[in-house]
Amino acid sequence: MAKKYEIRLSGSGGQGLILAGIILADASLSQGINAVQSQSYGPEARGGASKAEVIISQEEIHYPKVQACDLLLCLTQKSYDQYIASLKNDGILVVDESITIQDDAPYTVYKLPILDIAYKEMKKPMVANIVSLGIISKIVKIVDDEHLLGAVLKRVPPGTTEINKTAYYKGASLLQ
């Protein structure tokens, strides 16, 4: 792992990205890696802009906000348009397949059916965040699966363990 890794998870309210950021930070901490998480969202309860930022580092973290993303996840076109300039040229972009991106991207791009898996295949829109975490776990390998899945199961509502495990593994399987 790099000494410091900056991640921004972006989309709209109701997609669970703030919870995903909390889970990612929690998993890092449980593995003994420093992490900070911050969040912002629009005034709307559902459908407004939403982002979670996580910084993971082997060293002390001096500033809690993402300055240049190593990994940017976008689940909406609006979030892509708003945050793409914050991605490092050698960074990683993970987007839902519905998003139109620039063709000459200087970064690595993963364009995947995140929302289709959550909405159509699993019939549970609220698991898009956990599908995303499964994907992220295979791309960057910041924390091991045991800690990340453990953090997922610790944070999801009671009675949703199996659906969230399935969502996590479906996301991870997209990159195998």
Where do the structural domains in the chain lie, given as residue ranges?
4-173
Among left, alpha and beta (phi > 0; psi -120 to 50; other), residue 17 is alpha
Res 68: pLDDT:
96
154 φ, ψ (degrees, to nearest 5): -70, -30
Low pLDDT (below 50) residues in the chain: none
C-beta of residue 58 within 8 angstroms of C-beta of residue 1: yes
Res 45: pLDDT:
53
Considering the entire predicted model, what is its pTM? Answer: 0.93
DSSP strands (E only) in the chain: 4-12, 34-41, 49-57, 69-74, 87-96, 108-112
Res 69: pLDDT:
97
Range 4-173: architecture per CATH: 3-Layer(aba) Sandwich (3.40)
Res 2: pLDDT:
61
Considering the chain, what percentage of its residues have pLDDT values greater than 90? Answer: 83
Res 64: pLDDT:
92
Res 48: pLDDT:
67
Among left, alpha and beta (phi > 0; psi -120 to 50; other), residue 105 is beta
3-state secondary structure of 144: coil
Q: Which helix (H) or strand (E) holds 153?
A: helix 145-155
Res 102: pLDDT:
87
| Separation between Cα atoms, residue 110 and residue 119, nearest integer Å | 19
| pLDDT tens sequence across 3-17 | 899 999 999 987 899
What are the structure tokens assigned to 21, written together? Answer: 């950021």
